Amino acid sequence: MGVKIGQRFQQLQVGFAGLSKRKKITYAVIAIVMLLVLGLRISGALSKAAAQKAAEMNRQTYTPVEVITVRRQGILSSIILNGKVQGDKEAPVMVKTPGKAAEIPAKVGDIVKKDQVLFSLDKTDAMIAFHLQSAQFQMAQGAYETSIRKYENDQKALERTRELYKIGAVSKVELDQAELLASDSQRQSIEGQYAQARAAYDSAAKTLADMDVKSPIDGVLTALDVSVGAMVSNASPAAKVVDMEKVFITVSVSEKEINNIKRGQEVEVEVPSAAIRTKGRIEDLSLAADSRGKYNLKTYIENKDAIMKPGMFANVTLDTVSKENVFAVPTDAVVFHKGRNVVYLAGDNGAVEKEVTAGLENGTQTEIVSGLKDGDIVIVKGQNFLNDGSQIKVVLKDGQSQEAQSK
């Protein structure tokens, strides 16, 4: 291989030697120019790489952060309790007399008025009984009028008999008979027979009327367990009507929380399925625990459009503990580091690690009992990537962009 290269070089030398002097000079100049161009390119690349390396070495790394200025403020601790929406007035609908459903003009979800017919039972037997009692009552009414007229005449006859008895015109037996016919017991017997007939008639009329089962209140028909042709029992409610203009939610709290809650306290109510978020007040607060050891509280809210329905889940948020004039920071700003609670301050030369004592926490804010002073600049975003002395760049302070302000 080396022999061949050597031979080739010799051939080039011979070939070059055989060229004219002008051609030799031309080739030499071309070779020199090419070497110069190649050298310049190599030199430029080396200079650029050196500059980049120097820039990398001189560049300082930093962490972008957001900060807030510490000021004294109030802090609230709240709890969220779960309950169900219930109508202020819920009226179960019971049938008075079992029977077979004949007509059902109402349906679940209807807005109904008091005494509106919800469904009707078969009236055949009730109608027969009513007509019978009606006829008997009419007869009793006629007998009553006759008996009363006779009783009034007997009273007049008694007065005449007494006068005649005084002059000896009638005997004591006749007087006693006249007094018996005009006695109070006689009138009571007449009126009792009439009242009995009237009661039987009224009962038959009521039974007939009860065949039309009506709503006991204004509201929404929320349940109707009736079908045409099926027997309806009086053992359990056949329907339910709920007054929805005002609803309430009952929730339970533990013994640790009950003493921090007051009657009349404002609460926030959210009903997700109805897209409702509104305010309410605690109106009923139990003084004794139930069988679970819980204390019940009830809050009422207006529901004029009946958007909230009974049974919907609701969240009730209420404040239990409050403090004023304290230092508080976002809970995420407090970092547990090496067995201590610390926050990071934005110092002139970078991040400053500061040990703090935490107090009341409400899920979003934490009270700082010690370790901070008014005006401290606390890092609230980016703190999890810092150590004491880390280089930082403040991009947002108290909600204001620092980059925009620096331009």
Q: What is the DSSP string of 29-44?
A: HHHHHHHHHHHHHHHH
Q: Which of 59, 60, 55, 54 is nearest to 350 (CA)?
A: 60
- Model pLDDT, residue 197: 93
DSSP reduced 3-state for 113: coil
Tokens of 339: 């067995």
* 81 in Cβ contact with 316 (< 8 Å): yes
Categorize the per-residue pLDDT at 2 as very low, low, confident or very high, splitting at 50, 70 and 90.
Answer: very low
Taking only the tens place, the pLDDT of each residue in 106-164 is: 999 898 999 999 999 999 999 999 999 999 999 999 999 998 898 889 888 888 888 88
Determine the average pLDDT of the residues in 379-393: 93
DSSP reduced 3-state for 365: strand
Alpha helices (runs of H) in 210-337, residue ranges in sequence order: 255-258
Dihedral (CA of 228, 231, 234, 237) sign: negative
Q: Which of 56-70, 83-97, 381-395 is least confident?
A: 56-70
Categorize the per-residue pLDDT at 210 as very low, low, confident or very high, splitting at 50, 70 and 90.
Answer: very high
pLDDT at 178 over 80: yes
Q: What is the DSSP string of 153-165?
A: HHHHHHHHHHHHH
Instruction: Return the H-helix or E-strand segment holding 352.
Output: strand 350-355
What's the CA gap between 222 and 227, in Å, rounded?
A: 15
Measured in degrees and rounded to the nearest 5, phi and psi for residue 403 equal -65, -40
pLDDT at 58 over 60: no
- Model pLDDT, residue 392: 94
Taking only the tens place, the pLDDT of each residue in 325-371 is: 999 999 999 999 889 999 999 999 999 999 999 998 887 899 999 99
Residue 296's DSSP bridge partners are: 252
Angle at the Cα of 140 from the Cα atoms of 138 and 145, rounded to 5 degrees: 100
Categorize the per-residue pLDDT at 40 as very low, low, confident or very high, splitting at 50, 70 and 90.
Answer: low
Percent of the chain with pLDDT over 70: 85
Angle at the Cα of 314 from the Cα atoms of 261 and 245, rounded to 5 degrees: 95
Categorize the per-residue pLDDT at 304 as very low, low, confident or very high, splitting at 50, 70 and 90.
Answer: confident
- Model pLDDT, residue 50: 60
Longest dimension (CA), the chain: 197
How many other CB atoms sit within 10 Å of the CB of residue 95?
A: 21
Name the residue with tokens 């934490």.
366
Q: Which of 354, 352, 357, 376 is nearest to 367 (CA)?
A: 357
Compute CA 389 distance to the chain's CA centroid, rounded to the nearest angstrom: 47
- Model pLDDT, residue 5: 45
pLDDT at 6 over 60: no
DSSP reduced 3-state for 317: strand
pLDDT at 59 over 60: no
- Model pLDDT, residue 183: 86
Global pTM reads: 0.51
Determine the average pLDDT of the residues in 2-15: 50
Residue 266's DSSP bridge partners are: 281
DSSP reduced 3-state for 382: coil
Top-level CATH class of 64-75+324-406? mainly beta
The angle, 0 to 180 degrees and rounded to 10, between the axes of the packed helices 184-209 and 124-166 is 170
Where do the structural domains in the chain lie, given as residue ranges?
A: 2-57, 64-75+324-406, 123-210
* 328 in Cβ contact with 343 (< 8 Å): no
Taking only the tens place, the pLDDT of each residue in 249-269 is: 999 998 888 888 889 999 999
- Model pLDDT, residue 49: 63
